[in-house]
Amino acid sequence: MKKTNRFFYFLGISAALVGSSALRAFGIHSFIVPNVFAPGGVTGIASMVEILSKGAINSGYVVFVLNIPLIFIAFKYLNWDFALKTLISTILISIMLIGLEQLELHTNITLRYAPQQKILAALAGGVLNGAALAIMLRIGGSTGGTDILAALINKKYSATGIPYFIFLFDSIIVLVSAVLFSSLDPIMLSMVEMFVGARVSEAILQGLKSAVRFEIIIDDPDELAAMIMQKLNRGVTCIKAKGMHSNQERNLLVCLVRKSQVSAMRKLLKEYAPDSFTYISHATEVIGEGFTTS
């Protein structure tokens, strides 16, 4: 790797680490802890410690201490690049949580909602934590805690996806922690926060790689294929097919387009192939020219 490329690579990784950690820390400090509910995992345990100690023990210290054995596991059973990025993220989150507590002495940056509005805190916390996780997964790391356990399980069952393993582990911890709360409200808020976080993370990750697949059964494919390649700049594959009911030879066009191009694709079908038969499906990940190479 050239020096210039190496510089921009490390600059990008550093920005991702700082940005992800800032989102995570701000979500915990400003939305989760002040509204007295805790998500699952190490973050949830740390938040509960701070809530139960009435702020005497900052969640940043707890996050760091609880992550130490998990980081060792990551170094031993996962690759070092993943473990190192996770370690740095954990340290940054802990430092930022402690720093936000000090900043709170001078500026009010917490958002305390009325009981009937606390769902907003759960939604905001979920969005911030989900975005933070997606950034870390994108650069090959994690935000620590149950993310590490999820990554270990995902090595064997990779089809499901890390965000949903995290949601599973965190849900178990939330249910166990139910004994610490006098009502079900904090538990329900925690579940909402975790579900939103998993969905946001998955949406961000898949949004970078996903596409919409059009499969078009048509008699004369040439004109439509030419228009797709010309106006949408997308490749088209033509497959010879046979209708078993009619016993007739037909053509099957297969084309992958970005979500933003679906409307334009529909217009082309209406204009150039009004008699075709089309079905549309969602491709969760596309690797190759015109989409992504990683």
SS3 annotation, 132-200 = HHHHHHHCCCCCCCHHHHHHHHHHHCCCCCHHHHHHHHHHHHHHHHHHHCCCCHHHHHHHHHHHHHHHH
pLDDT of 55 strictly over 80:
no
Domains and CATH numbers, the chain: 3-207 (no CATH), 211-283 (3.30.70.120)
Render pLDDT for 207-242 as a digit per residue (tens, 0 to 9). 656 688 999 999 888 999 999 999 888 889 999 988
Number of neighbouring beta carbons within 10 Å of residue 108? 11
pLDDT of 182 strictly over 70:
no
**pLDDT the model gives residue 156:** 67
Contacts of 55 (CB under 8 A, 6+ apart): 101
Distances (CA, A) of 233 to 84, 212, 225, 278: 40, 15, 11, 20
User: What b/e string do you get for 22-56 counting C-beta neighbours within 10 Å, with b at 16 or more?
Assistant: bbbbbbbbbbbbbbbbbbbbbbbbbbbbbbeeeee
Render pLDDT for 102-155 as a digit per residue (tens, 0 to 9). 887 656 656 666 666 788 888 999 999 999 988 998 888 888 877 787 777 777
Bridge partners, 279 (sequence order)? 215
CA separation for the pair 167, 108 (Å, rounded): 31
